[in-house]
Amino acid sequence: MNEKFKFKITVIGDGRVGKTSLIKKFTKGSFQEDYIKTMGAQFSVYDKKIDGDKIKLFFWDIAGQDDFHFLHSSFFKDSKAAIIVYSLEENEFGKTSFKHILDWYKDILNYCGKIPIVIFANKVDLIDERSLDNANIAELVKEHKFLDYFITSAKTGQGVIDAFNAIIKNLYDKYRKISSQL
């Protein structure tokens, strides 16, 4: 089996937006109700097959709290893609996590250069989705040429598989094309 596809994907965003929960939902299919603060970073390994090729994914879940900002340069190193997560909660926390998307984006540019980025608008289970206005996030995605954005819920699983698969497929297609040219 082919082992040439190994991708490190950095998952970032403010503390408590659901980064760890999203990764666990995708890789293990589980959700933990209680919040557990990520200390520094955690990483999860996940194997996937596309078109007969084995893909090994390393999800690096970087703590969103400012206390861990000094660790970012080493955690971002060698990332092939990034996921920025913010909360859809209709309160100050949700608004602030949205505003911080650009700060996280600047960190990615600083440490990784131009890599594919997907935005996860998480915690849709906590709002009335019919009242959701996607104009601001759609504008941000277009303006900064992010790959896409997805409305997600780590709790219910809504959008999680599609969101992760979008970034994985983008990486696979890009690197499969490169490896076929070698």
What per-residue confidence (pLDDT) applies to 2? 47
CA distances from 22 to 125, 126, 133, 156, 175 (A): 13, 15, 22, 10, 25
Q: Which domains does the chain have, with CATH numbers?
A: 5-181 (3.40.50.300)
> What is the pTM (predicted TM-score) of this model?
0.91
Pairing state between β 5-12 and 53-62:
parallel
Instruction: Tell me the pLDDT tens digit for each residue of 145-177.
Output: 999 999 999 999 999 999 999 999 999 999 998
State residue 177's pLDDT score: 85
119-151 confidence digits (pLDDT tens): 999 999 999 999 899 999 999 999 999 999 999
Residues 6+ apart with CB under 8 A from 13: 19, 64, 84, 85, 86, 97, 100, 101, 104, 120
